[in-house]
């Protein structure tokens, strides 16, 4: 793991409790060891403990709320692994992603800043402006009444999923496999809203704005604001979503309103959405420039230094698969193993999934379901027979309908994006 990783909550408190209070929660200590929480800081702490804190003013400075003592527990989330607490980021172990539709409590969390303080769905508004004929400010009720409401199963994956396997390491959250999910999202088509606003001929890119604050707490400073080409924005499967799995969106997944832009990096799917504006240039908001969500425009040697001008923005995610059963390390009974998992391929479909139990010498074609709708992951299953007792690895390799297959090795890049190397799980037949 990179040595210059941003310190998390527990490390900060161990090093300097008062400084941690100021940095993380905006709390300022005073001589009687009690502090006060400013708005964004109180919001962060409340989000992390899962409820409002009525007596926050009495809370002594320099310590962590007892509800946070178990770093693996996040309110409304089941079994997620905490990777970072400033900002909050957590992934789902592969075996907990076995459901065809990812339950809300098992959907990963990727935050860039501090979640908004006041989240009132009835008062929330979304502004559509910039290069449009009819700028609009719409409530969630307006969205529901003026546009067709649809529900689709849509795959969202962080562009850095799989970063922890890079060698040499790449900076950023050290995701293993679980920064991916496929929930049912309910909302209205982004394309319908943009058409109603009237896209001007010179608009080429969207720009997205959320209500979350920068980690510095500085008013007006955005932690992330990304966008996409108009052509992608008009895809009918992009949603402005207000429900997740038939209920309110989880607060850490962007309640009450978010974009869902499937097939592209999850960073395009702005959470706590408040504004979409259209531009006549590639958007240059936070995490759109430099090397953020970009990869070299050519293959590079692991560890190679690459000039910033040689990076291209990531568009579609690559073909990929995930074995969700058996869980790695499990024992096989009787030499028969039931293998299950999911596969997805950015803007494309998956044509086949093959499994190997002999380190890639031979392959077994798995049964593969069609997606329930475009951009939903596809479920696969197969029975593997282990010929004798011993240690085995089950490998999964997905191939897209364009004939592109997952590679054995990681295509290294400096930022640790787009790792779609084959997933492997270990089983023992004793």
- pLDDT mean across residues, the chain: 90
Same domain for 47 and 132: no
Record the tokens describing residue 318, joined without a space: 């690559």
Looking at the domain assignment, is residue 411 inside a domain? yes
Same domain for 201 and 153: yes
Contact 92, 82 (CB under 8 A): no
- What whole-number distance in Å separates Cα of residue 228 and Cα of residue 383? 41
- What whole-number distance in Å separates Cα of residue 339 and Cα of residue 325? 5
Looking at the domain assignment, is residue 105 inside a domain? no
Percentage, residues of the chain above pLDDT 70: 83
Looking at the domain assignment, is residue 97 inside a domain? no
Is a pLDDT exceeding 50 seen at residue 168? Answer: yes
Percentage, residues of the chain above pLDDT 90: 79
pLDDT tens track for 199-256: 999 999 999 999 999 999 898 899 999 999 999 999 999 999 999 999 999 999 999 9
Same domain for 259 and 171: yes
- What whole-number distance in Å separates Cα of residue 282 and Cα of residue 92? 33
> Which of 313, 337, 355 is where one domain is finished?
313
> Which of 69, 88, 105 is where one domain is finished?
69
State the pLDDT at residue 4: 38
Specify the pairing of strand 423-429 against strand 330-331: parallel
Same domain for 358 and 225: no
Looking at the domain assignment, is residue 94 inside a domain? no
State the pLDDT at residue 118: 79
Same domain for 395 and 275: no
Q: How confident is the model at residue 74 (pLDDT cuts 50, 70, 90)?
A: confident
Q: Residues 327-348: what's their mean pLDDT? A: 95
Q: Is the dihedral of CA 62, 68, 74, 80 positive or negative?
A: positive
- What whole-number distance in Å separates Cα of residue 300 and Cα of residue 305? 9
Beta-bridge mates of residue 345:
348
Same domain for 359 and 229: no
pLDDT tens track for 279-294: 999 999 999 999 999 9
Is a pLDDT exceeding 50 seen at residue 7? Answer: no
Q: How confident is the model at residue 3 (pLDDT cuts 50, 70, 90)?
A: very low
- Which of 18-32, 222-236, 380-394 shows the lowest mean pLDDT across its residues? 18-32
350-353 contacts: CB < 8 A, separation 24 or more?
350/319, 350/321, 350/378, 350/398, 350/399, 350/400, 350/401, 351/399, 351/400, 351/401, 351/403, 352/398, 352/399, 353/321, 353/378, 353/380, 353/396, 353/397, 353/398, 353/399
What does the DSSP 8-state code read for residue 332? P
Q: Residues 120-145: what's their mean pLDDT? A: 98
> Which of 265, 280, 313 is where one domain is finished?
313
Burial class (CB in 10 A: 0-12, 13-18, 19+), 430: exposed
Looking at the domain assignment, is residue 109 inside a domain? no
- What whole-number distance in Å separates Cα of residue 238 and Cα of residue 242? 13
DSSP code string of 101-149 = S--GGGS-EE-SSBPPS---TTT-EEEEEESBSS-EEEEHHHHHHHS-E
- Provide the domain count of the chain: 3
Q: How confident is the model at residue 273 (pLDDT cuts 50, 70, 90)?
A: very high
Q: Where are the strands (E) in 287-417, listed by range?
A: 294-296, 311-313, 320-325, 330-331, 336-344, 350-356, 364-365, 367-368, 378-385, 390-400
Q: How confident is the model at residue 85 (pLDDT cuts 50, 70, 90)?
A: confident
State the pLDDT at residue 336: 94
pLDDT tens track for 358-379: 999 999 999 999 999 999 999 9
Looking at the domain assignment, is residue 93 inside a domain? no
DSSP code string of 20-75 = HIIIII--EE-TTSBEE--HHHHHHHHHHHTS--TTGGGPBSSS--GGGSSTT-BT
- For the beta carbon of residue 209, count every other beta carbon within 10 angstroms: 20
SS3 (DSSP) at 212: coil
- For the beta carbon of residue 217, count every other beta carbon within 10 angstroms: 19
Looking at the domain assignment, is residue 350 inside a domain? yes
Same domain for 336 and 189: no
Is a pLDDT exceeding 60 seen at residue 1? Answer: no
DSSP code string of 152-173 = EEEEEE-TTTTGGG-SS--SS-
Same domain for 188 and 238: yes
Record the tokens describing residue 397, joined without a space: 């390799």
| Peptide bond preceding 326 in cis form (omega within 30 of 0) | yes
Q: How confident is the model at residue 92 (pLDDT cuts 50, 70, 90)?
A: very high
Is a pLDDT exceeding 90 seen at residue 122? Answer: yes
Looking at the domain assignment, is residue 403 inside a domain? yes
Same domain for 217 and 198: yes
Q: How confident is the model at residue 35 (pLDDT cuts 50, 70, 90)?
A: very low
Same domain for 349 and 298: no
């Amino acid at each position: 793991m990179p040595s210059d990783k941003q310190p998390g909550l527990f490390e900060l408190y161990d090093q300097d409790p008062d400084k941690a209070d100021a940095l993380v929660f905006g709390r300022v200590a005073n001589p009687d060891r009690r502090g006060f929480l400013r708005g964004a800081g109180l919001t962060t702490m409340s989000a992390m403990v899962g409820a409002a804190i009525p007596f926050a003013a009495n809370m002594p400075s320099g310590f962590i709320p007892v509800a946070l003592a178990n770093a693996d527990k996040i309110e409304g989330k089941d079994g997620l692994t905490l990777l970072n607490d400033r900002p909050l980021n957590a992934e789902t172990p592969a075996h907990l992603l076995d459901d065809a539709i990812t339950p809300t409590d098992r959907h990963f969390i990727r935050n860039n800043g501090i979640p908004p303080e006041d989240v009132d769905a009835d008062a929330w508004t979304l502004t559509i402006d910039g290069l449009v004929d009819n700028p609009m400010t719409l409530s969630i009720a307006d969205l529901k009444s003026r546009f067709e409401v649809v529900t689709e199963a849509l795959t969202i994956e962080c562009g850095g999923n799989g970063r922890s396997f890079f060698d040499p390491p790449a900076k950023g959250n050290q995701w293993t496999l679980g920064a991916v999910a496929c929930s049912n999202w309910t909302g209205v088509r982004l394309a319908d809203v943009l058409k109603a606003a009237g896209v001007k001929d010179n608009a080429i890119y969207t720009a997205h704005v959320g209500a979350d604050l920068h980690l510095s707490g500085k008013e007006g400073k955005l932690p992330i604001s990304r966008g996409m080409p108009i052509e992608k924005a008009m895809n009918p499967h992009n949603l402005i979503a207000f429900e997740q799995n038939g209920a309110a969106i989880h607060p850490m997944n962007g309640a009450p309103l978010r974009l869902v832009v499937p097939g592209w990096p999850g960073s395009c799917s702005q959470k706590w959405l408040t504004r979409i504006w259209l531009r006549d240039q590639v958007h240059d908001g936070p995490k759109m420039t430099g090397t953020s969500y970009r990869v070299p425009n050519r293959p590079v040697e692991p560890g190679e230094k690459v000039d910033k001008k040689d990076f291209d923005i990531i568009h579609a995610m690559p073909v990929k698969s995930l074995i969700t059963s058996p869980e790695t390390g499990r024992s096989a009974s009787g030499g028969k193993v039931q293998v299950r998992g999911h596969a997805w391929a950015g803007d494309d479909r998956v044509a086949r999934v093959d499994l190997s139990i002999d380190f890639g010498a031979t392959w077994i074609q798995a049964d593969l379901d069609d997606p329930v709708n475009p951009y939903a992951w596809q479920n696969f299953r197969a029975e593997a027979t282990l010929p004798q007792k011993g240690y085995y690895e089950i490998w999964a390799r997905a191939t897209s309908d364009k004939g592109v297959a997952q590679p054995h090795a990681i295509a290294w890049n400096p930022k640790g994006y787009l790792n779609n190397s084959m997933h492997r799980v270990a089983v023992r037949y004793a």
